[in-house]
Amino acid sequence: MPCTTLLVGKRASYDGSTMIARNDDSGAGHYTPKKFAVVTPDAQPRHYRSVLSHVEIDLPYNPMRYTCVPNALAGEGIWAAAGVNAANVAMTATETITSNERVLGADPLVHYLSADASPDGIEKPGGIGEEDFVTLVLPYITSAREGVMRLGALLEQFGTYEMNGVAFSDADEIWWMETIGGHHWIARRVPDDRYVVMPNQLGIDQFDLEDAFGEQRDFLCSSDLRTFIADHHLNLSFDDSLNPREAFGSHDDADHVYNTPRAWFIGRYFNPTTYIWDGPDADFTPEADDIPWSFVPERKITPEDVKYVLSSHYQGTPYDPYGSYGEDNRRGAYRSIGVNRNDFLAMLQIRPDMPAHARALQWLCFASNPFNAWIPLYTQIDTVPAFLATTGEHTSTDSFYWCSRLIAALADAGYQNCLNHIEHYQQAVQSKGQAMLAHYDPLLKQSDPSEAQALCEEANAAVTDALEKLCHNTLDLVLFETSNLMKNAYARSDA
């Protein structure tokens, strides 16, 4: 799946929280309806069978409750995507990343083979992948580091059929994990004062094998990675350093259109004066292969910043597909972060200054990010408002997912006429979200833990009610604008 991930360390964020965020995007030519859900321990499977790969795995008998953003329709599996568990550990999975032929030849991906396709006529299960990761890991971990270790053990045992990046966070740490071939993996702790941008490429650009096989303070990896690298001559450095991006990643021409420009835009936004981003003397261009994996931002990063950059379409540059300036052949030259096939955006925020029963927030919106708006939701809950949870197969204004899809389809077709309505909608919804936090956070700080869940669910219901009204009002406005555009177009054609 094409996605974009942003990770913000606790000393880089506005309030000392860790923040991990990811767009989940459909493949070209279709949408994947999503919903917000809570999985209670009694609903968690004890024996898991993947729909896509048919791999079967026995799961522990002590799962925790967790939130997630699964597929709304049956057929291709759960795809739980992003959530927070009862221990306030967050996980988002996955960012599809890239590799090269040397890696894939040395450790092939583990693909499912049906009995008909198998040489001996026996079905061969595949490995685990994006469909499975959150369900297999999030209910069982009490720290971000534990998340890396549990998923790493599963990858080494069962393998994977795709290249993936996965983020874990708790109140203190963020870890970023990348798979390498079928069974290998690396992970790096995000420095507290930095942010990381991941745009569908293997991204870690420096790895300390001594630490990974020693103290494991900032680096972790599969148990035989050092031997794997040596046996297959994967390290391309002339010294003893290891650049995983060079060793395990790709440098395809397509990366320069599809991937690197997204990292360039976000770096340009958060570090506008640290580097030169434009012109013949630029330190980094949209097609640069050496854009750093992490940056120290020039100011603290807010949720509003995260929403803006993960909704972006190269505003303020010659590459904006909606721009009315610059050369025609440059507009839309690069793949935008905010596209029509965004399915959801979730940011998982773990706040150290809040009590455990209200420490985590899951910011959530659906459909195309340039035209949607998100709300914060407390995660220590058992129930979810219907507007977020009841996404059906068919378009309906009773669903946040489909209502957001309708707004995006209409506003995209009439961008200039609808832009003002969209900006007002986004500001109004996000202001309601901040007002909800300003009201309920103090109450939750003072509340008894036994009363906290009811307060969290009350808060989520209140902010969702406000969202639903604003969403429907905005849909009315953009429908009116688009209808006028169509009427005027018909009038001109008749003339």
Specify the higher pLDDT residue, 2 or 258: 258
Instruction: State residue 49 phi and psi, 5-degree precision.
Output: -130, 120
Specify the higher pLDDT residue, 490 or 73: 73
Give exposure, 70-101, as e/b (b: 16+ Cβ within 10 Å).
Answer: bbbeeeebbbbbbbbbbbbbbbbbbbbbbbbe
How does pLDDT run across 332-383, given as a tens digit for each residue?
A: 999 999 999 999 999 999 999 999 999 999 999 999 999 999 999 999 999 9
Res 10: pLDDT: 98
* Sign of the Cα pseudo-torsion (426, 432, 433, 434, in order): positive
**What residue type is 172 in one-letter code?**
D
CA 66 to each of CA 36, 43, 150, 271, 431: distance values in angstroms, whole numbers, following the listed order: 11, 11, 16, 35, 27
How does pLDDT run across 443-462, given as a tens digit for each residue?
A: 999 999 999 999 999 999 99
pLDDT band at 493 (very low <50, low <70, confident <90, very high): low
CA–CA dist 449, 445 (Å, integer) = 9
CA–CA dist 93, 164 (Å, integer) = 8
Give the closest residue to 360 by CA, choosing from 122, 150, 48, 86. Answer: 86
Res 489: pLDDT: 61
> Residue ranges of the alpha helices (H) in 22-143?
101-106, 133-137
CA–CA dist 25, 444 (Å, integer) = 34
What is the residue-wise DSSP string for 211-250? HHTTT-SSEEE-TTHHHHHHHTT----SSS-B-HHHHH--
What secondary structure, in 3-state letters, does 373-442 show? Answer: CCEEEECCCCCCCHHHHCCCCCCCCCCHHHHHHHHHHHHHHCHHHHHHHHHHHHHHHHHHHHHHHHHHHH
CA atoms within 13 A on the CB side of 328: 0
pLDDT band at 484 (very low <50, low <70, confident <90, very high): confident
Res 490: pLDDT: 62
How does pLDDT run across 429-444, given as a tens digit for each residue?
A: 999 999 999 999 999 9
CA–CA dist 434, 431 (Å, integer) = 5
Query: Quick check: helix, strand or coil at residue 482?
Result: helix
Q: Is omega for the bond preceding 94 within 30 degrees of 0, making it cis?
A: yes
The first and second tokens of residue 126, run together, are 């595949």
Residues pairing with 232 in the sheet:
none
Rounded to an integer, what is the distance from CA 205 to the centroid of its chain?
A: 20
Q: Is it the case that residue 30 has pLDDT exceeding 90? A: no
CA–CA dist 177, 185 (Å, integer) = 7
Average the pLDDT over 268-293 and give the result. 97
3, 403, 418, 456: which one is catalytic? 3
Query: Cβ-count burial of 15 within 10 angstroms (0-12 exposed, 13-18 middle, 19+ buried)?
Result: middle
Long-range Cβ contact pairs of 136-139 (< 8 A, separation 24 or more): 136/48, 136/57, 136/59, 137/91, 137/93, 138/66, 138/68, 138/80, 138/83, 138/85, 138/89, 138/91, 139/39, 139/41, 139/44, 139/63, 139/64, 139/65, 139/66, 139/85
Res 491: pLDDT: 63
Res 7: pLDDT: 98
How does pLDDT run across 98-135, given as a tens digit for each residue?
A: 999 999 999 999 999 999 999 999 999 999 999 999 99
CA–CA dist 52, 238 (Å, integer) = 41
> Is residue 456 annotated as part of the catalytic site, yes or no?
no
Ranges assigned E (strand) in 50-157 = 56-58, 66-68, 82-84, 90-96
CA 183 to each of CA 87, 128, 151, 156, 159: distance values in angstroms, whole numbers, following the listed order: 28, 10, 11, 5, 5
CA–CA dist 480, 438 (Å, integer) = 34
**Which residues, in sequence order, are CB contacts of 210 under 8 Å at separation 6+?**
none
Query: Cβ-count burial of 272 within 10 angstroms (0-12 exposed, 13-18 middle, 19+ buried)?
Result: exposed
On whether the pTM is more than 0.85, the answer is: yes
